């Protein structure tokens, strides 16, 4: 058994993964080959962390999340439950990055203030998307593959492009919503109904 497997017997951890013993790993979570989970990171129950993914110090990941191969999630990011992060997606944490200070000395941790990406419940981040902190990605929203997100994403929004812009709405199923007219939308998969108000999408009350 690897040290990581010994430290977290309730989780599945590949022999080649590097999971710091100060991390908190939930029951049923699987961490695959070459992934790295840093100190004080917290990953919830029944998550999947793919090959080569990186979870920075103190990052918080909720339950039932999927972090795909080679995704890079830098501190102090926070992911709520049910978040999907696609392959090679990147969450930044430095608004004005430099390797050195103005006097030419190499920057240390105390020489800059980390800022994070906050991903709300059920949101999905597409492959190779880049999320430029600080920002919040709303509940059940979807960021298209290759997008560069530079500002907050509303709940249920579908955003794409460089920089990312809203191009539609999605429901909890992830499918684009059908426009029913008069600011009303319906999910073609579940039949759930929504309405747009002031640039935001809200779930319609169920009778």
Query: Tens-of-pLDDT digits for all 207 residues of the chain?
Result: 346 666 788 999 999 999 999 999 999 999 999 999 999 999 999 999 999 999 999 999 999 999 999 999 999 999 999 999 999 999 999 999 999 999 999 999 888 889 999 999 999 999 999 999 999 999 999 999 999 999 999 999 999 999 999 999 999 999 999 999 999 999 999 999 999 999 999 999 765
Query: What topology does CATH give the domain 3-172?
Result: UDP N-Acetylglucosamine Acyltransferase; domain 1 (2.160.10)
Domain boundaries, the chain: 3-172
DSSP notation for 17-60: -EE-TTSEE-TT-EE-TT-EE-TT-EE-TT-EE-TT-EE-TT-E
Find, among 205, 185, 206, 188, the residue nearest to 196 by Cα.
185
Number of helices (H), then strands (E), in the chain? 1, 26
For residue 96, the 8-state DSSP code is S
């Amino acid at each position: 058994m690897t040290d990581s497997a010994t430290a977290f017997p309730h989780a599945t951890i590949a022999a080649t993964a590097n999971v710091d013993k100060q991390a908190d790993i939930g029951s049923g979570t699987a961490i695959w080959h070459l992934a790295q989970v840093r100190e004080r990171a917290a990953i919830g129950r029944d998550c999947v962390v793919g090959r080569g993914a990186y979870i920075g110090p103190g990052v918080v990941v909720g339950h039932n999340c999927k972090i795909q191969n080679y995704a890079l999630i830098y501190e102090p990011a926070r992911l709520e439950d049910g978040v999907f992060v696609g392959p090679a997606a990147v969450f930044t944490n430095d608004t004005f990055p430099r390797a050195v200070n103005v006097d030419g000395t190499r920057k240390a941790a105390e020489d800059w203030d980390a800022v994070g990406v906050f991903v709300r419940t059920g949101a999905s981040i597409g492959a190779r998307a880049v999320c430029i902190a600080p920002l919040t990605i709303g509940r059940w929203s979807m960021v298209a593959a290759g997008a560069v997100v530079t500002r907050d994403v509303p709940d249920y929004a579908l955003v794409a492009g460089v920089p990312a812009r809203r191009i539609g709405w999605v429901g909890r199923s992830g499918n684009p919503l059908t426009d029913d007219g008069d600011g009303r939308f319906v999910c073609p998969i579940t039949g759930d109904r929504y309405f747009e108000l002031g640039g935001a999408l809200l779930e319609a009350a169920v009778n």
